[in-house]
Amino acid sequence: MEEETGAAAAAAAAEEIRRLPAEVNWEMLDKSRFFVLGAALFSGVSAALYPAVVVKTHLQVAPPPAAATATAAAILRREGLRGFYRGFGASLAGTVPARALYMAALEATKSSVGSAAVRLGVSEPAASAAASAAAGVSAAVAAQVVWTPVDVISQRLMVQTSATCRYRGGADAFRKILAADGVRGLYRGFGLSILTYAPSNAVWWSSYAMAQRVLWRVVGAERSESHASLMAVQGASAAVAGGAAALVTMPLDTVKTRLQVMEANAARPTLASTVRGLLKEGGWAACYRGLGPRWGSMSLSAATMVTTYELLKRVSAKEGSLG
């Protein structure tokens, strides 16, 4: 009886997955179309969300605590709209290679791990969650090779003002950081970035996959043929996963940002000295400065990025691969 119940549950799970929208895997993609369209789409999304990142960075770096709205108003008053896009050129230059590495590692790992798990007899839902988690870790590590230097440069440009302008642009910041600290200066916070984003991505992608299944049960899998329903479910699942990831990783992100932005003067900033300084300024609450903008930015970014990403995969699918 127990074996029959288990078999029935497995069959029901398999049927539920079969009724969900078809997954576009790595082998089904036209890679050149995928990367070219991806670069254009994600650059546009990054431009729309960049001001929230600037506000978040100012809140994390500035010693006196301030509200996000007050910080945004101060930037607008002091620098105008241009102040919300300081460092954007450097960030955009890193977006294309970083996203390419991220998407390649994500799709290749998800496809290989998912197939291997199914061959080993793991159930479809568990295999999907495991593949998504492994893919998230792989993608985060690969992307940080590019993103860490881009973060170091763009964040320093973000927090400087016309009155305290040390860098004339991304290229100038790159040269000066390299001259002062060497390659190590460009990769300051790399280990902490991996520690922040690898588990965050693992949780994000696995929870995103699970959230989709839960929402399709509520909405009804038969409505997956509707493009509007598909985008709504994917966007809602991504927003929930993004908000949770923002909350969990906020302290690490604050420390990482401080470490990357602080200049190396008499004493080189270390992880321990950065944490001590932050706690001295405002206790554990200081670790959550900028949570509002980061929560909003990550939720909106996740919803936008995922719907764009899923659309990109379907647009980039090879002829006849979707049946």
**Does residue 175 form part of some domain?**
yes
**Does residue 285 form part of some domain?**
yes
Radius of gyration (C-alpha) of the chain in whole angstroms: 21
> pLDDT band for position 21 (50/70/90)?
low
Q: Which of 213-227, 237-251, 254-268 has the lowest mean pLDDT?
A: 254-268
**Does residue 323 form part of some domain?**
no
> pLDDT band for position 264 (50/70/90)?
low
- Grouping H, G, I as helix, E, B as strand and the rest as coil, residue 108 is helix
SS3 content of the chain, % helix, strand, coil (to 5): 80, 0, 15
Residue pair 158/89 in contact by the 8 Å Cβ criterion: no
Per-residue pLDDT at 212: 83
Domain span at residue 18 reads 1-316
**Does residue 87 form part of some domain?**
yes
Residue pair 299/211 in contact by the 8 Å Cβ criterion: no
Indicate whether this model's pTM tops 0.75. no
**Does residue 185 form part of some domain?**
yes
CATH number of the structural domain spanning residue 150: 1.50.40.10
The alpha carbon dihedral of 89, 94, 99, 102 has a sign of negative
Mean pLDDT of 85-110: 86
Higher per-residue confidence, 80 vs 61: 80
Q: What is the pLDDT of residues 188-238, one digit of tens each?
A: 888 888 888 887 787 787 778 788 888 888 887 777 677 778 888 888 888
Per-residue pLDDT at 174: 93
Instruction: Look at the chain and report how many structural domains it folds into.
Output: 1
Q: What is the pLDDT of residues 155-170, one digit of tens each?
A: 989 888 777 788 888 8
**Does residue 322 form part of some domain?**
no
**Does residue 99 form part of some domain?**
yes
**Does residue 76 form part of some domain?**
yes
Inform me whether the pLDDT recorded for 266 exceeds 50: no
> pLDDT band for position 51 (50/70/90)?
very high
